[in-house]
Amino acid sequence: MPSIVDMVQSQIIASVKKESDIEKANNSSANITFLLTGNLQTTKEYIDRLKAANKVTFVHIDFIEGLSNSHSAIKYIADYWKPDGIITTKSNLIKYANEEGLKTIQRIFLIDHNAIKRGIDISHSCKPHAIEVLPGIMPSVIDELTKSTHLPIIAGGLIKNKQEILEGLKAGALAISSGNSKLWNMDI
């Protein structure tokens, strides 16, 4: 399976927060989707719809209703739902998903310098394939992060316009995730 860096064709990632946005994501120029909605009954269908449109699909498992934080839940996701990877804030789930052959993205929140340091330390320990940082509107912090880790950085959260996207990319982010479908068709 290619690296996350190699998967990125469009530097805009479509963060799908509701079922009605799946078609918008499928019709967008974003080649990667982050699925942030669903439950035990609907998530496989959502993944299948995104993958049928040739979208690389990561499931944010912290948002999927009914999942437990166990190795068996990750194994089930890998074996039956078959996303390309997962996103989570939980380092133990990153380790389990790596063992099951899924690509992994560790989500960390940039609330202060201690949170940044702790997030980087945890990420280096559990070995995700990339880090997603929120909020993504702090180019100087993104720049600092890219200098403190070898892992690709994806910035997301509170992104409102093309200027903020370009600032995040210029600061060193691999890509920008956004739940705003109006940004998904930017040619970046």
For the domain spanning 4-183, the CATH number is 3.20.20.70
Q: Is the dihedral of CA 9, 11, 15, 20 positive or negative?
A: negative
Locate the domains of the chain by residue range: 4-183
pLDDT at 1 over 80: no
User: Once rounded to an integer, what is the mean pLDDT over residues 80-109?
Assistant: 97
Read off the tokens for 161: 């316009």
**For 122-144, what is each residue's pLDDT tens digit?**
999 999 999 999 999 999 999 99
Strand intervals (E) in the chain: 12-16, 32-35, 56-60, 85-88, 103-109, 130-134, 153-156, 175-178
Label residue 6 by pLDDT band (50, 70, 90): very high
Instruction: Convert the pLDDT of each residue in 22-79 to its tens digit.
Output: 999 999 999 999 999 999 999 999 999 999 999 999 999 999 999 999 999 999 999 9
DSSP 94-121: HHHHHHTT-EEEEEEE-SSHHHHHHHHH
Q: Both tokens of residue 148?
A: 């403190």
Averaged pLDDT score across all residues of the chain? 96
- Residue where the block lists tokens 């739902």: 81
CA dist., res. 186 & res. 131, Å (int): 22
pTM of the entire predicted model:
0.96
